[in-house]
Amino acid sequence: MKVTEFLHVAILVTDLERARGFYGGILGLQPVARDLKFPGAWYQIGQQQIHLIVSDGVPTQSLAAKWGRNHHLALAVADLEVAHATLTAHGYSSQMSASGRQALFTQDPDGNVIELGEVG
Protein backbone atom coordinates (compact mmCIF):
# COMPACT_ATOMS: atom_id res chain seq x y z
CA MET A 1 0.00 0.00 0.00
CA LYS A 2 1.11 3.54 -0.71
CA VAL A 3 -0.86 6.44 0.80
CA THR A 4 -0.57 9.38 -1.58
CA GLU A 5 -2.69 12.18 -0.16
CA PHE A 6 -4.65 13.38 2.87
CA LEU A 7 -8.30 13.98 1.88
CA HIS A 8 -10.39 14.97 4.90
CA VAL A 9 -10.99 14.66 8.60
CA ALA A 10 -14.39 14.01 10.17
CA ILE A 11 -15.30 15.83 13.38
CA LEU A 12 -18.32 14.92 15.49
CA VAL A 13 -20.51 17.80 16.65
CA THR A 14 -23.76 17.87 18.61
CA ASP A 15 -25.21 21.18 17.36
CA LEU A 16 -24.65 21.84 13.65
CA GLU A 17 -25.57 25.53 13.67
CA ARG A 18 -23.29 26.23 16.64
CA ALA A 19 -20.48 24.31 14.91
CA ARG A 20 -21.05 26.25 11.68
CA GLY A 21 -20.73 29.46 13.68
CA PHE A 22 -17.29 28.33 14.89
CA TYR A 23 -15.84 26.71 11.75
CA GLY A 24 -17.45 28.95 9.13
CA GLY A 25 -17.83 32.12 11.19
CA ILE A 26 -14.93 32.41 13.63
CA LEU A 27 -12.36 30.33 11.71
CA GLY A 28 -13.66 31.68 8.39
CA LEU A 29 -13.56 28.34 6.56
CA GLN A 30 -15.30 28.06 3.19
CA PRO A 31 -18.28 25.69 3.08
CA VAL A 32 -18.63 23.29 0.15
CA ALA A 33 -21.77 21.69 -1.23
CA ARG A 34 -22.69 18.24 -0.03
CA ASP A 35 -25.54 16.00 -1.16
CA LEU A 36 -25.97 13.54 1.67
CA LYS A 37 -29.01 12.48 3.64
CA PHE A 38 -27.51 12.86 7.12
CA PRO A 39 -26.90 16.20 8.86
CA GLY A 40 -23.48 17.76 8.58
CA ALA A 41 -21.38 20.43 6.89
CA TRP A 42 -18.23 20.26 4.78
CA TYR A 43 -15.49 22.92 4.65
CA GLN A 44 -12.63 23.24 2.17
CA ILE A 45 -9.06 24.14 3.20
CA GLY A 46 -6.69 23.98 0.24
CA GLN A 47 -7.00 20.48 -1.21
CA GLN A 48 -8.38 19.00 2.02
CA GLN A 49 -11.74 19.12 3.76
CA ILE A 50 -13.21 19.10 7.24
CA HIS A 51 -16.43 17.11 7.54
CA LEU A 52 -18.67 18.03 10.46
CA ILE A 53 -20.96 15.13 11.30
CA VAL A 54 -23.84 15.50 13.75
CA SER A 55 -23.76 12.99 16.59
CA ASP A 56 -25.55 12.53 19.91
CA GLY A 57 -22.23 12.98 21.70
CA VAL A 58 -18.53 13.51 21.18
CA PRO A 59 -15.56 11.81 22.85
CA THR A 60 -14.24 13.68 25.87
CA GLN A 61 -10.65 14.87 26.11
CA SER A 62 -8.54 12.68 28.37
CA LEU A 63 -5.86 15.25 29.25
CA ALA A 64 -7.76 18.38 30.20
CA ALA A 65 -4.71 20.29 31.47
CA LYS A 66 -2.77 20.00 28.18
CA TRP A 67 -5.14 20.27 25.23
CA GLY A 68 -2.39 19.56 22.68
CA ARG A 69 -1.82 16.09 24.09
CA ASN A 70 -5.34 15.04 23.12
CA HIS A 71 -6.51 14.11 19.66
CA HIS A 72 -6.70 17.34 17.67
CA LEU A 73 -6.81 18.93 14.26
CA ALA A 74 -3.95 21.29 13.33
CA LEU A 75 -4.53 24.23 10.99
CA ALA A 76 -2.07 26.82 9.71
CA VAL A 77 -2.84 30.51 10.23
CA ALA A 78 -1.19 33.56 8.71
CA ASP A 79 -0.96 35.50 11.99
CA LEU A 80 -1.18 33.80 15.37
CA GLU A 81 -1.80 37.05 17.25
CA VAL A 82 -4.82 37.82 15.06
CA ALA A 83 -6.11 34.27 15.56
CA HIS A 84 -5.69 34.57 19.33
CA ALA A 85 -7.44 37.97 19.40
CA THR A 86 -10.32 36.65 17.28
CA LEU A 87 -10.86 33.64 19.53
CA THR A 88 -10.68 35.79 22.68
CA ALA A 89 -13.14 38.33 21.25
CA HIS A 90 -15.64 35.50 20.68
CA GLY A 91 -15.18 34.06 24.18
CA TYR A 92 -13.02 31.04 23.27
CA SER A 93 -10.19 30.06 25.60
CA SER A 94 -6.81 29.01 24.29
CA GLN A 95 -3.55 27.51 25.48
CA MET A 96 -0.22 28.44 23.96
CA SER A 97 1.91 25.51 22.84
CA ALA A 98 4.21 24.37 25.64
CA SER A 99 6.86 23.52 23.03
CA GLY A 100 7.62 27.18 22.35
CA ARG A 101 6.35 26.93 18.75
CA GLN A 102 4.15 29.70 17.40
CA ALA A 103 0.98 27.71 18.02
CA LEU A 104 -2.06 27.68 20.27
CA PHE A 105 -4.78 25.22 21.10
CA THR A 106 -8.47 26.05 21.39
CA GLN A 107 -11.67 24.03 21.54
CA ASP A 108 -14.74 24.16 19.34
CA PRO A 109 -18.16 24.38 21.05
CA ASP A 110 -18.20 20.57 21.52
CA GLY A 111 -14.71 20.45 23.08
CA ASN A 112 -12.89 19.18 19.98
CA VAL A 113 -9.32 20.50 20.18
CA ILE A 114 -8.04 22.65 17.32
CA GLU A 115 -4.39 23.64 17.01
CA LEU A 116 -3.64 26.88 15.18
CA GLY A 117 -0.03 27.29 14.16
CA GLU A 118 1.68 30.18 12.46
CA VAL A 119 3.53 28.85 9.45
CA GLY A 120 5.79 31.09 7.46
Return the C-alpha torsion angle 31, 27, 90, 110, nearest 10.
70
| pLDDT reported for residue 61 | 75
The b-or-e profile of 10-40 (16+ CB within 10 A means b, else e) is ebbbeeeeebbebbeebbebeeeeeeeeeeb
Q: Which DSSP category does 98 fall into? A: T
Measure the CA–CA gap between 9 and 52, rounded to whole angstroms.
Answer: 9
Query: Tell me: the pLDDT tens digits for 77-104?
Result: 999 999 999 999 999 999 999 888 999 9
CB count in 10 Å sphere of residue 52: 25
